[in-house]
Amino acid sequence: MRLSIRSFSGICLPIFTLLTLHLSAADVVTVKKLIPDLALEMVHTAVKACRSNGYQVTAVVVDKDGAPLALMRDVHASRFTIQIARDKANAVILSGIASGLFRDNRRDIQQEMNHVEGVLVLQGAFPIRAAGSLLGAIGVSGAPGGEKDERCAQEALDLVQERLEFAE
């Protein structure tokens, strides 16, 4: 078999190009992510906390991109609580703060924000953080009032807070 200059350069040029390319630290990002096991533990805790107070709710944990990681709807919670809990959690992802605090701080744009698909600025969701990084959010819906949803979400956060504080 004979190799011509053209076929030789056609093979070597891409290999040479690949070998000379290198990535610098600025070209790569390291990301912390929640694992589904922790998310499941959190939604289970939130639903149990509300149930113990007589409320039928849905709890949702979303990751930092707003994608659902875990969801639990109690037996008699309305199916609409699924969307509401998720959208409250997405308001946290959008703002980086608790959904109730976002609502209180930005009443001037609350109505407009509630028209953004997938975002609902109502009380009942908190950020999930580890070592200062936003990992996701937990949202709860179905109790009679956002402050009650918030208490159930807070119980779930309290359960895992120490583990999150020591996460590397």
The dihedral formed by the CA atoms of 155, 161, 163 and 164, expressed in degrees to the nearest 10: 130
Q: What is the pLDDT of residue 113?
A: 84
Cα–Cα distance for residue pair 137/133, rounded to 1 Å: 12
Q: How many CB atoms lie within 10 A of CB 118?
A: 14
Read off the tokens for 77.
Answer: 């919670």
Lowest mean per-residue pLDDT among 11-20, 46-55, 115-124, 146-155: 11-20
* 114 CB-side CA count, 13 A: 12
Cα–Cα distance for residue pair 163/1, rounded to 1 Å: 64
Cα–Cα distance for residue pair 103/56, rounded to 1 Å: 24
Whole-model pTM: value is 0.83
The domain spans of the chain are 36-165
117-131 pLDDT, tens digit each: 999 999 999 999 998
Cα–Cα distance for residue pair 154/128, rounded to 1 Å: 10
Residue 167 main-chain phi, psi, to 5 deg: -70, 135
At the second CATH level, the architecture of 36-165 is 2-Layer Sandwich (3.30)
